[in-house]
Amino acid sequence: MSTELLLLFVLMFAVTYPSRAVPLLAPGIERLPPLALLYLRLVGPAILASLAATNSLVASGADGANVLDVGIEAVAVAACGVLVAWRRNLVIGLAVAVAIVFVARFAGLA
């Protein structure tokens, strides 16, 4: 194994790990004000929805700029969300989302 590459991976770890660990390891996190704790509890739904929306609605345009793209991917993601809300089962939602995208692409619709 290349020692140089191994060093690069260790450095990549060194710039990644703090963002994962610092809040978890910080002393006194339980002494945050109640409003801060409430804020942190709302981060979950906010960032997961942000990840879902950006990954399904934003695409790279021909000139490299990001553009809004409401395509079959957005439909599939929305269908998954609705199914999970209805059936409380993520696997069913994922299966339907994959099926929608696969069929649409196979049929040349996307």
Partner 1 sequence: MPAGQQPLGWEVDASRRQLLSDSLGIAVSSGAFGFVLGLAARDAGLTPLEAGAMSLIVFAGASQFAALGYIAAGLPWLPILVLTGLLNARHLLYSASLAPRLRYIGLDRRAAMAHVLTDEAFALSAAHFHRLGRVDVRGYWMAASVGVFVPWNVATVAGALLGGAIVDPAGLGLDIVFPAAMAGLAVGLVTGRRELVAAAAGAASGVLLSLAFGIGAGIVAGGLIGPAVAMLTPESRSQASPDSDMAGVPVDVATATSELADLDEPELGEPT
Q: Which of residues 53-92 bind partner 1 (CB under 8 A)?
A: 53-58, 66-68, 73, 76-78, 80-81, 83-85, 88-91
| CB 61 to partner 1: min, Å | 10
# residues near partner 1 by CB under 8 A? 74
Q: Which is nearer to partner 1, 25 or 62 (CB)?
A: 25
Helix (H) or strand (E) holding 84: helix 72-87
Told to check if 107 binds partner 1 by CB under 8 A, we report no
Binding mask 28-57 for partner 1 (x = CB under 8 A): -xx-x-xx-xxxxxxxxxxxxxxxxxxxxx
> How many C-beta atoms surround the C-beta of residue 77 within 10 A?
19
| CB 17 to partner 1: min, Å | 7
The residue among 67, 45, 48 whose CA lies nearest residue 57 is 67
| CB 73 to partner 1: min, Å | 6
**Helix, strand and coil percent figures for the chain, each rounded to 5:** 75, 5, 20
